[in-house]
Chain A
Amino acid sequence: DAKTTQPPSMDCAEGRAANLPCNHSTISGNEYVYWYRQIHSQGPQYIIHGLKNNETNEMASLIITEDRKSSTLILPHATLRDTAVYYCIVRVFHNNAGNMLTFGGGTRLMVKP
């Protein structure tokens, strides 16, 4: 699976958009970009994923560059409850169970009042 690079930490003001970048310059054509987040001492939570088109759901938007070498997760109106570590993961989806998520260090997002 391709490696990702994320800033270790970011701050965001409450109510503003949080834009979390991820570099994945070695991504291959069949690898998806996944985002999870982990609120302190809880299990990771799925946010969104995409292949090449931009995606949006009730939690966030995912913008993937045309060359697919980087992406940005956007939380449109960050709240204090969005304070968490955000993980960007790229991987191929195989049928076999062994192809599971590999977590890096992520970005610690601190939303401030």
Chain B
Amino acid sequence: ETGVTQTPRHLVMGMTNKKSLKCEQHLGHNAMYWYKQSAKKPLELMFVYSLEERVENNSVPSRFSPECPNSSHLFLHLHTLQPEDSALYLCASRRTGGRTEAFFGQGTRLTVV
């Protein structure tokens, strides 16, 4: 248990569906992140939020829409995804301003059919 909780753990959605992934941490961290891990590929950083403001968007398609309403919660809204978007989506958080390690959630295994 890392203190970073992701829900749901598994999600199957059709290409026309709209769904959201949720990440929650109560570690007092001020930065939160979404990563994507496709089969047999390294983790790819998707979005970075610091103090609830997006500071980085690594060329992610607009069908992925992040939201950070407060420093403890992070969402990834999904709309009209493609089968190649099937992957493990990981949330991480950390406290900036020092050599603090990042904590990762268990991930959401997403399958787009």
Asked if B50 is at the interface (CB within 8 A of a chain A CB), the reply is yes
**A104 / chain B contacts, CB cutoff of 8 Å:** 42
The answer to whether A97 and B48 have CB atoms under 8 Å apart is yes
**B97 / chain A contacts, CB cutoff of 8 Å:** 95
Asked if B15 is at the interface (CB within 8 A of a chain A CB), the reply is no
Q: How far is the CA of A44 from the CA of B99 in the complex (A)?
A: 17
Asked if A113 is at the interface (CB within 8 A of a chain B CB), the reply is no
Q: How far is the CA of A101 from the CA of B4 in the complex (A)?
A: 17
The answer to whether A98 and B50 have CB atoms under 8 Å apart is yes
Specify the main secondary structure of chain A where it touches its partner.
Answer: loop
**A43 / chain B contacts, CB cutoff of 8 Å:** 2, 4, 90-92, 104-107
**A41 / chain B contacts, CB cutoff of 8 Å:** 88, 107, 109
The answer to whether B48 and A98 have CB atoms under 8 Å apart is yes
Within 8 Å by CB of B102, from A95, A96, A98, A100, lies A100
Residue of chain B at shortest CB distance from A85: B42
**B101 / chain A contacts, CB cutoff of 8 Å:** 34, 46, 49
Interface residues of A (CB under 8 A from B): 32, 34, 41-46, 49, 93, 95-98, 100-106
